[in-house]
A = this chain, B = another copy of it.
Amino acid sequence: MIDAISFKENTLHYLDQRYLPLREDYVATKNYQEAIEAIKTLAVRGAPLIGVAAAYTIILGINSFKGTKEEFPAYFKTLVAEVEASRPTAVNLFFAAARLKKVYTDNFEADTLETLFAKMHDAAHKIHADEIANCDLMSRHGVEQIKIDLAHILKTRKLNVLTHCNTGTLACCGTGSALGVIRLAWQEGLIERVITSESRPLLQGLRLTAWELQQDGIPFVSISDSSSAFLMQRGMIDFGIVGADRIAANGDTANKIGTCAHAISAWHHNLPFYIAAPVSTIDITIPDGTHIPIEERNADELRTIFGTQVATPTTPVLNYAFDVTPGKFLRGIITDKKAVVGNYLNELKQLFAE
């Protein structure tokens, strides 16, 4: 297993993802400023992993505190603010910071600093452990759903699965969301080959997912994003599974640009297409996908590739980072609680009632 992030002997260990797969730089630091820099520069990335990195960064900051108990509140406030400022749009970062702030608020009065710090250490490790556990739960629910939906094929042969972008341990800490399901399905002998679409503009599929699969020895092939429809037509894909950035109450799902095109093609070829994402990704207050804001990113992400200019700097570019896949194209939404199929409007609401 790739060690994308860990915290041992008061040291943060992380894999610098910027140069993958061409360079694997494992970094170790006790310096919280260096850890903040890693979040800022995208050396660590992926929403759940950023949350874990933020928690450990706060612990590094606490470890370097040398003052009195009276001096700690001001120090802690500044520290958390610094960490929160590192990636202002990453919601997992704020969730992680909020969990540590709660440990502080609940225990500061009663505890010694030593006891308080120990509780915060534990809380940071718990955030990490929860992400790993979520991956395992999603993987299990996903595999069971696949066994049901694709039983007719599994009678005679293994499955070819399409995935998009990176949803593995590099993004999620554990085995991954969609890639976690794929990993477990492969371990259980259900998978023939993974097809990973490159995921323009930033090529997370070609670079990161391919690298993870290669590390695990899972057979795969990378394709250009626009090839998936043709592979489906040729019978080379049996189902698709991807992650999610935000899921609306009706199942409409925002995910990496290209997801919607894959899902429509799958629908047309009668192939099941799944989302794998923790319940925390579901925004039950949003009625449907039209209410999800879609980030438009810098045109240079298309005009230059790894620093190489491919189009003129004045070429007009429209670079949506995400798209919205209507719930009707999805066979199921695999969460850590259960695999949700059928009427999303009822079923997703149910997850929050339980």
Taking Cβ atoms with an 8 Å cutoff, the residues of A that contact B are: 21-22, 195, 197-198, 200-201, 203, 206-207, 210-211, 214, 220-231, 233, 257-258, 260-262, 264-265, 267-268, 302-303, 305-312, 314-320, 323-324, 326
Contact = CB atoms under 8 A, between A and B. Distances in A.
20 contacts: A200-B226, A206-B310, A207-B310, A210-B312, A210-B315, A224-B319, A225-B225, A226-B257, A226-B262, A227-B257, A227-B258, A227-B323, A228-B261, A229-B261, A229-B264, A230-B260, A233-B326, A261-B265, A268-B268, A305-B310
Contact of A308 (B265, B305, B323, B326): B305
A231 B261 CA distance: 10
A317 B223 CA distance: 6
Q: Is the interface of A mostly helix, strand, loop or mixed?
A: mixed
Nearest to A308: B308
**Copies per assembly:** 2
A268 B262 CA distance: 13
A25 to B, nearest CB: 15
A232 to B, nearest CB: 9
Contact of A229 (B210, B233, B323): B323
B257 A264 contact: no
Given A233-B324, A264-B265, A320-B230, A312 B21 contact: yes
A308 B19 CA distance: 13
Nearest to A269: B264
A223 B228 CA distance: 18
Most buried by B among A261, A268, A305, A320: A261
